[in-house]
Amino acid sequence: MATPKKTPGRPTGTGAVVFRDTLYTSRMLILAEGRQLLVTQGQVSVKADDHRALDYLNSHPDLQAQE
């Protein structure tokens, strides 16, 4: 049986998804609906089921999903 391929930043389990900020160690990211995500110590994390935040973080050029 084939193992499903993982998409970075989209885990199949529950928990949090962590992104590394490649440009800043501290900053505030603001989503389209006005919600704020804080980058601290070069990382930002969101719940695995927060699809709006995941879409934003995955499309951001300065952020890399951590495995």
H or E element, residue 5: none
Distance, C-alpha 50 to centroid of its chain: 9
Distance CA 14, CA 50 (A): 11
Q: What are the contacts of 21-25 at 24+ separation with CB within 8 A?
A: 21/62, 21/63, 22/62, 22/63, 22/64, 23/62, 24/62
Provide mean pLDDT across the span 1-23: 69
Query: Could you read off the pLDDT of 43-57 as tens digits, one per residue?
Result: 999 999 999 999 999
Residue 1's pLDDT band, with cuts at 50, 70 and 90, is low
Residues 17-34: pLDDT tens digits?
999 999 999 999 999 999
User: What are the residue boundaries of the structural domains of the chain, listed by start?
Assistant: 16-65
Degrees, nearest 5: CA angle 33-34-38 = 125
